[in-house]
Structure 1
């Protein structure tokens, strides 16, 4: 669901008191998101600008976002001109879906200059445009050349034109009445079809237009409801969809709606090669396995080639040149056996060739079995990686990429930017504290699992893992476990596993000291000697309450 002009008006009202603010750092979070780290009058905050076709928005947030090592050319330009500049003010274009940031800075010779950032939040046309004081475009996140749009060119050197105001529409905050014969979107600025439905529903239920607009004007809350498994929201309760809603402070609510929605897109933007590689490798191994199994089945029938060779050697007087097959009586029961021949070879050479096929198939059985085991292990491994990627955030995905590099599956990317060598640190695992004060840690990828189980956990801590599924290593930092603690740890193990959508998921648990690392195995693989098992039904609402 996209922002409309009225909701953007509320957002601008909310963040306007934070300006003026100094720009400390500028990052491109993904292909469509720019992050400005600001020092406001009271604290440090992040201004996130998203020009995503669906999730475009503007928000002042305290959440942390991942940042790529190599910035784009547009971000480099913004850094050159705007880092240490001051955003003096923010203004919305009427109730249209664009705002203008006025930035004050000093140029190379120390003179004060003004630059403008136009943030346009118009669906697939969403854009961030950097303009100088003469109205000339310096650059944009998305360039639009003349052959794509001859009415509005967005590229360096072109003159910037603000979006034209529609003269036939009026400001709904200053209107006292409306025309029932026309839709609200045709009469007023800032109305989206979704908000129009809500207001029209209220009007049909005897609420006045002025009272509805007054409620919108006074609202500092975002109401989030569910419609057809999609989050819908606005700054007033959505009564027309007949669904319960949750209310949050406006800016916090926007974070809740958008942060996790866009997180998977962000991971794919910055770590898409991991997804492509894992999916390709999994497909390749799954296609390879049945071929290996067919080869093994064929190799089990190798004794016939030894019999063929014995029969041919016993009948060397027979001339076979030019023949493609020969029928000879079996040594056992005298029944005729048809032996395939190479017409270019004599009977002795054909016998020799049969024994070569026998020896090759006999020795190949061991090799093919080894390859089948390797192939099955690879399928299990990449199946687990795929499941981990589905549940990962950006940092988890980068650790998975690191693991694939260390195992030789991916080549290490060499950054063009020189950085001081950092000390190697252990992967960061997730932690929660239960109401009884017991702490639980769990990993969300193989590197985190390995570090948690063999480096961070105490030998007397209790370890949990699903029995028949790939999943998280869960460690309870206590030796004495009550039923609630066991069930909570088992819930986490089951939820962060491939069995999260199953019921009665078996979860094994044992003391850390009973675990053994498998020599030569991939990270996170362990063997168990003594353990107990609990069966659990994964419950997402319970996991949410534990994480909170």
Structure 2
């Protein structure tokens, strides 16, 4: 329950605000700040404020804030930076409460510049901290709310003060000689518990998202493994055709041969566009690709299982109910802060990031960038493209759900792959592309070296107009 206007008035009576100088401001999260003051008689003291929550309040902070409320906030830096640049160092010369309302007004003198500070201690969307000049033109605010006319440069309309005294607003039973101390104790424990529960819910939601992704990945790799496990059948077919190659003719669509392993006659489908003996190579090629896909899928299945087990164990430790609460809060905050750092890192990829229509292209320009993109930024459903038999950069086409990669995007990616390869001088190249999940690392190979399976081929001549558009857009970005 938030403080009512009577309780706020009682809080203000006990605070040495008038004559205090603001030395430092600290923003703990989206809703709470500490204001560190110095008063010539009272000495150093801290005012804690919280707005927009079920525990909206202000009170003198006689103890250090709990661990649950400490730590920097990655967002909302705009407001705290304004306070530090323009409000810290000010002296409070006037304090008042706007009628029978939960709105507190502080008049500040910042070395001759008058500032007005309005704190509205509501628990809902009306809550705000607003800083204006002497004419009440808004300079900065905690929450920008254009719908309420609360944004920089607009006049702050205070409105008529409430004068109707509602007897339902009473001061709660007193349990301490200092009402500030009483409120600090009552709300501190409740707010900390709420913070703990909110952190738990956020971490649980993060766990559920990660586990769902890992299980989907595992299911996909299991499907690929199942689909490619009969790869030996292609080799058996190729061996059979090789044994009877004297019977093969050009432009055949099928052939019936006796399978010496089973003793039965088999009908083998052939590619009629190929010469008879070329079908033998076709089946050996199918065998190699299917075998590569199977081995890659087998590796990925084991990797996905290991990651799934590690993830489950990690969150089991993090959400262990036997962990002491403050230690749990610290661990959960680190976990969530780590997620934010990863999101920020996603916008700082190595190499080039280029937009091609709806699709994002990640371009590695050397072996180090290729390896870094492959390890940290490429996902299984993304497409990988590279010049065939020519050293060069990798180009990744980021996957979009339910979207097929159009030819124009493939041509954009191909031109970038050529221009960052040794085929640039030739002005053309053969390329191949496949999904990242069909790549496997070469054992003992150079940094970033991969072996593709299920690849498709593309032959492209450099298009200078296309390249200029792509690289110019990247420069402008």
Q: TM-score, normalised by structure 1?
A: 0.50
CA distance in 1, matches of 2:172, 2:343: 56
| Structure 1, unpaired ranges of 5+ | 108-112, 173-183, 185-190, 192-212, 223-234, 236-247, 415-548
Task: Pick closer, same or farther for the CA change 1:336–1:53 going to 2, 3 Å.
Answer: farther
Q: Which position in structure 2 is the counterpart of 1:170?
A: 165
User: Please, which of 214, 223, 243 is the counterpart of residue 294 of structure 1?
Assistant: 223
Q: Which position in structure 1 is the counterpart of 2:413?
A: none
CA contact (8 A) 2:117 2:131 kept: yes
Q: Which position in structure 1 is the counterpart of 2:150?
A: 154
CA contact (8 A) 2:99 2:162 kept: no
1:25 and 2:24 are equivalent in the alignment: yes
CA distance in 2, matches of 1:276, 1:57: 29
Task: Pick closer, same or farther for the CA change 1:263–1:345 going to 2, 3 Å.
Answer: same
**Which is worse superposed, 292-301 or 387-396?**
387-396
Cα deviation for residue 71 of structure 1 reads 6.9
CA distance in 1, matches of 2:233, 2:300: 24
CA distance in 1, matches of 2:346, 2:278: 52
CA distance in 1, matches of 2:87, 2:51: 19
Q: Secondary structure at the match of 1:94?
A: coil
Alignment deviations for residues 213-269 of structure 1 (CA, whole Å, 9 cap, x no partner): 5xx3662469xxxxxxxxxxxx9xxxxxxxxxxxx932211112223424677999x
CA contact (8 A) 1:54 1:124 kept: no
CA distance in 2, matches of 1:324, 1:10: 95
Task: Pick closer, same or farther for the CA change 1:85–1:296 going to 2, 3 Å.
Answer: same
Alignment deviations for residues 267-320 of structure 1 (CA, whole Å, 9 cap, x no partner): 99xxx9x99997766544322212222222333322222221122123224446
User: Please, which of 393, 411, 428 is the counterpart of residue 329 of structure 2?
Assistant: 393
Q: Which position in structure 2 is the counterpart of 1:261?
A: 194
CA distance in 1, matches of 2:161, 2:144: 23
1:79 and 2:84 are equivalent in the alignment: yes
Q: Secondary structure at the match of 2:125?
A: helix
- Aligned residue pairs total 332
Q: Which position in structure 1 is the counterpart of 2:33?
A: 34
Alignment deviations for residues 65-117 of structure 1 (CA, whole Å, 9 cap, x no partner): 2124787333333223321223355433233121122334313xxxxx54331
Q: Secondary structure at the match of 2:345?
A: coil
Quick one: higher RCO (CA 8 Å, sep 6+), 1 or 2? 2
Task: Pick closer, same or farther for the CA change 1:39–1:68 going to 2, 3 Å.
Answer: farther
User: Please, which of 233, 237, 242 is the counterpart of residue 308 of structure 1?
Assistant: 237
Task: Pick closer, same or farther for the CA change 1:20–1:259 going to 2, 3 Å.
Answer: farther
Alignment deviations for residues 119-155 of structure 1 (CA, whole Å, 9 cap, x no partner): 112311111011333433332222344xx24xxx333
CA distance in 2, matches of 1:221, 1:355: 87
Q: CA RMSD in A?
A: 4.2
Q: Secondary structure at the match of 1:249?
A: helix
Q: TM-score, normalised by structure 2?
A: 0.57
Q: Which position in structure 2 is the counterpart of 1:4?
A: 4
Q: Which position in structure 1 is the counterpart of 2:96?
A: 91
Alignment deviations for residues 361-412 of structure 1 (CA, whole Å, 9 cap, x no partner): 445544433222222222334445556676853675347756997xx99739
Alignment deviations for residues 167-207 of structure 1 (CA, whole Å, 9 cap, x no partner): 5x3253xxxxxxxxxxx5xxxxxx4xxxxxxxxxxxxxxxx
CA distance in 1, matches of 2:306, 2:71: 32
Task: Pick closer, same or farther for the CA change 1:412–1:315 going to 2, 3 Å.
Answer: closer
Q: Secondary structure at the match of 2:104?
A: strand
CA contact (8 A) 2:94 2:108 kept: yes
**Within 5 Å, which residues of 2 pair with 1:417-428?**
none
Q: Which position in structure 2 is the counterpart of 1:219?
A: 174
CA distance in 1, matches of 2:24, 2:340: 31
Q: Which position in structure 1 is the counterpart of 2:361?
A: none
